[in-house]
Amino acid sequence: MLSLRHHIASLLDKPLVAIASHIHFDHAGGMHEFDHRAIHAAEASALRTGDDYEALCTPAQGWVRQADFAQLPYPGFTVETYTLTATEPTQILQEGDVLDLGNRAFEVLHLPGHSLGCIALYDPQSQELFSGDVIYDGELLDELHCSHIPTNLATYERLQKLPVETVYPGHYRIFGQSDYQQIIADYMEAKRQPGCPLKQRTQSLNS
């Protein structure tokens, strides 16, 4: 069986804390392998109980796809039998927490919208952002059952004011300040156009 923990152990000689940027299976599916596990308070229960629905890994949701596996985790693995392994968080993260690594420190930013418990880690000295699924250079998923476009817009308004030099996202390529601002601007413009989900939702509430 492939093990993320065992692979990383060969690269490090210091204690390790696994931090889930959010509960979705492609970001939290290996958390049970680690002794020290951190996740935002809003999604701690889902990790604790192994909530497949919140992790987007029920067969009906269709997000765990056989074609996405370059190598199967173990012989006989199928996407229909995949499940999020329940594990107890050893650390509950909140907005403003600081993770001190000794030679650098990261601030926890709670940035919901894609899901309720999305976080990013921010180094104010280097202005580096480890963004998970909050922002990346690709189609931003904001219409999942756990997503909320108005909240995501508020998150992007906050990010727009955050000094960022480099973004290390959970998917796709690393990018810099110029692309960071462009991705934010493009998203905000698209979601505020007539006919976008936010506009339609606002009109419905006003009618």
Residue position matching structure tokens 């392998």: 33
Q: Decide if 111 contacts 157 (C-beta within 8 A).
A: no
Amino acid, single-letter form, for residue 87: T
Positions in the chain whose pLDDT score sits under 50? 198-207
Q: Decide if 172 contacts 141 (C-beta within 8 A).
A: no
pTM of this structure = 0.84
Sketch out the chain's domains with CATH numbers. Answer: 4-81 (no CATH), 95-206 (3.60.15.10)
Q: Note the pLDDT of residue 116.
A: 97
Q: Note the pLDDT of residue 206.
A: 42
- Calculate ∠ Cα 197-146-168, nearest 5°: 95
Closest Cα to residue 116, out of 74, 144, 83? 144
Q: Note the pLDDT of residue 200.
A: 45
Q: Rounded distance, CA 96 to CA 104, Å?
A: 16
